[in-house]
Structure 1
Amino acid sequence: MTSHSHILPTIDTSQGIEIGLYTLGDHLANPHTGERISTQQRISEIIEMGILAEEAGLDLFQIGESHQEYFVSQAHLIILSAIAQATKRIKLTSGATIISTADPVRVFEDAATIDHISKGRMELVAGRASRVGLYDLLGYDLKDYEALFEEKFDLLLQINENKQVSWQGEFRAPLNDAHVLPRSDRQSGGLPIWRAVGGSLGSAQKAGLAGVPMYQAHLGGPVSVFKRPIDLYREAAAQAGWEVDQLPVATAGFLYLHEDTKEAYRQYYPHINEGMKRTNGQGFPKRGFAQGMDVRSIINVGDPELIIDKLLYQHEAFGMQRYVGQIDFGGVPMDAIKRTIDLLGEKVVPVVKKYTAKK
């Protein structure tokens, strides 16, 4: 075992995998009606989603940040703090906080404050950004993409795990015996921090070598493609001397539930396709989306029985401890969001937890 373990999330695997929801805070028109709700209503509905997720018995709610047109989650930690005040049990996490373009000191201060508001329910997922417009907006050079993340992520971990920090790097002024406050009331004084991994095998390997929890998000494709980074993560962690069984993996992706699978695909495809056009510059291939009906596809769209089969298939492949579904992308209306949450809580979660529980 290496000499210094990081602060890890507490996940009771005897109760099965954790299941939660996430939003990236996109603000798009409903493609079926052309209606785009106001910014105020969108933010209010995100807060309501967090409250409904707790009422449905889900384990966590997560908000990512984006700094471009068609998003309202630029201040994602402020929205999380509102949910912290309005809930009592559900875990709260960022997903992802773009640490590359943020000051780790301020990120820790804000997250630790939410931990106090929520009475110890806050976690962080730190990422590098798949949408890179925020580098210019916030005054960073995109050529430093990798170096910025590695330096800032390392500093965030040091602040999280030490009451006083002396540090020197390339991209910000040094710290000399800095005492970053507030500290969490947890015994460790810090928070669970995950490393977000996209399609990069190198990033998965670095997460394993560092011995930090890994969060992997998916858009579409076969489950087998996304197994490789997780396997590499665990191989690297074992090679570095970490106790692999203690390191959790979270997976995340599109989730949409309807009582009828064909109706789910008919309703949801325009949201995904138009949403991807607006935020990523190109739509989602219709054939690739339709392949989601195959249990071996990573896209979790369908009736409760199909989603149960899919999550159990993914768990068998990945061995993840947490699954987080994105249910609101592309202007999905609130009534459909509520239906997904209800079906998830009533039909899916109890079965998936039963069959993934470790005795």
Structure 2
Amino acid sequence: MELGIGMFGDLGVDQTTGKYRDAGVKIREIIEQVKRMDEVGIDVFAMGEHHRPDYAVSSPEIVLAAAASVTKNIKLASGVTVLSSSEPVKVYEDFSTLDLISDGRAEIFVGRGSFIESFPLYGYSLNDYEQLFDEKLELLLKINSEENVTWSGQLRAPMSNQTVYPRAKNDGKLSIWRAVGGTPQSVLSAAQLGMPLVVAIIGGMPVQFKNLVEFYKQEYQKAGHDVSKMQIAIHSHTFVSEDQKVTDGYFHNYKSQMDRIGASRGWAPYTKMQYDGGRAKDGALFIGSPAEVADKIAYMKEIFGITRFIGHMDVGDPVHDIMMKSIELFGEKVKPTLKNL
């Protein structure tokens, strides 16, 4: 089982100015953090895409390219590319270029995204939300598998015997995962296409997703795909510390981000009871000591048969040195515990 770390580039609020922290500083910290991930043996780094003032990264591929220059082994993925509001040709070009820079380490996680700011920003109508994703996924997969592309849809100009350059290292093919939040139709589509699956489990109890994952496995096999190549990942909020004071203090970082997002979605203020409940074995927060986090990941392997776990580790913008320590513990203490799973 692979172990990864994901980030969105959260920007905390500077208490002295009341403004969000400097995005340039945050991005440079992320590059240093990815370098440390590589050094401690983390298998995958996933960088998210957002177009909001409280996140530093709108172009994951640029940050990943910078990370490629300071790493040697870690896989570099988008987490996620909001494909509905992206241009599939450009997505392939950017990630095939990243793949060549990194000597074959690029991956794409495609999804609809949980925020909608990119749609009006790039001139897309939310009325086409479903159709945009379906058409663009079809085109991206075609570009990924065929050198000369002929394709037509309703929302984009057709392509006629055109080739997209440069081609990725592995015969032009990139690893493209489908990221989902729990919609059965999305899971069915991923299974029928034979795509690796990433399930974001952010709240509630992970066991509630068991039927969804079993549905994916059944439909994947029914579609005739090689079960030995099936890949399933979970992406959940994670933070590791050996200091109980740090773990308790992280609640304030976590609450600040949950409340900021929740304010626009009608959520009630986040509580310490929710935090503690999420940290329990049946909860969706992988926050605690290395032993506690490793035990919960092993439990996910038992429930779902996952091949990859991605710990989303910068919620609420923890300070850089605490982030670096969490990364080190994840690689040096959590990962060895799970090596035989």
- Taking structure 1 as the reference length, the TM-score comes to 0.90
* 1:246 maps onto 2:232 in alignment: no
Name the counterpart of 1:43: 27
Name the counterpart of 1:150: 134
Query: 1:205–1:236: 8 Å Cα contact kept in structure 2?
Result: yes
* 1:212 maps onto 2:195 in alignment: yes
* 1:53 maps onto 2:37 in alignment: yes
Identity %: 36
| RMSD (CA atoms) | 1.8
* 1:166 maps onto 2:137 in alignment: no
Post-superposition CA distance 1:155-198 (Å, at most 9, x none): 10000000010000011100000110000121x31100001111
Name the counterpart of 1:67: 51
Give the CA deviation at 1:292: 2.7
The one-letter code matched in structure 1 to 2:254 is I
Name the counterpart of 2:178: 195
Post-superposition CA distance 1:67-111 (Å, at most 9, x none): 122111111111110001111111111110011001000000000
Query: 1:195–1:213: 8 Å Cα contact kept in structure 2?
Result: yes
* 1:88 maps onto 2:88 in alignment: no
Post-superposition CA distance 1:97-144 (Å, at most 9, x none): 011001000000000000010011101001101111211111111121
SS for the counterpart of 2:339 is helix
Name the counterpart of 2:88: 104
Query: 1:220–1:288: 8 Å Cα contact kept in structure 2?
Result: no
SS for the counterpart of 1:100 is helix
Q: 2: CA distance between counterparts of 1:331 and 1:23? A: 10
Query: 1:265–1:290: 8 Å Cα contact kept in structure 2?
Result: no
Post-superposition CA distance 1:242-273 (Å, at most 9, x none): 2233110111111111114x535412211121
Name the counterpart of 1:6: none
Query: 1:32–1:270: 8 Å Cα contact kept in structure 2?
Result: no
* 1:18 maps onto 2:2 in alignment: yes
* 1:272 maps onto 2:258 in alignment: no
Name the counterpart of 2:323: 337
Query: 1:91–1:121: 8 Å Cα contact kept in structure 2?
Result: yes
Query: 2:20–2:54: 8 Å Cα contact kept in structure 1?
Result: no
Give the CA deviation at 1:277: 2.0
- Worse overlay, 278-287 or 20-29: 278-287
Name the counterpart of 2:305: 319
Post-superposition CA distance 1:304-355 (Å, at most 9, x none): 111111011111001111111111111211111011111112211001112x
Give the CA deviation at 1:227: 1.7
Name the counterpart of 1:351: 337
The one-letter code matched in structure 1 to 2:79 is G
Query: 1:39–1:72: 8 Å Cα contact kept in structure 2?
Result: yes
Name the counterpart of 1:114: 98
Q: 2: CA distance between counterparts of 1:33 and 1:255? A: 29
Name the counterpart of 1:9: none
- Structure 1 regions of 5+ residues with no counterpart? 1-16
SS for the counterpart of 1:131 is coil
SS for the counterpart of 1:252 is strand
Q: 1: CA distance between counterparts of 2:215 and 2:338? A: 26
- Worse overlay, 160-169 or 273-282: 273-282
Query: 1:264–1:303: 8 Å Cα contact kept in structure 2?
Result: no
* 1:236 maps onto 2:219 in alignment: yes
SS for the counterpart of 1:86 is coil
- Taking structure 2 as the reference length, the TM-score comes to 0.94
Give the CA deviation at 1:288: 2.4
The one-letter code matched in structure 2 to 1:323 is F
Q: 2: CA distance between counterparts of 1:220 and 1:277? A: 14
Post-superposition CA distance 1:194-223 (Å, at most 9, x none): 011112122111111111101111212212
Q: 2: CA distance between counterparts of 1:286 and 1:201? A: 31
Show structure 1 runs of 4+ deviating over 6 A.
Answer: 30-35
Give the CA deviation at 1:66: 0.5
Equivalent residue for 1:263, pick from 245, 257, 261: 245
Name the counterpart of 1:13: none
Query: Larger relative CO (CA 8 A, sep 6+): 1 or 2?
Result: 1
Give the CA deviation at 1:36: 4.8
Name the counterpart of 2:314: 328
Q: 2: CA distance between counterparts of 1:284 and 1:94? A: 28
SS for the counterpart of 1:61 is strand
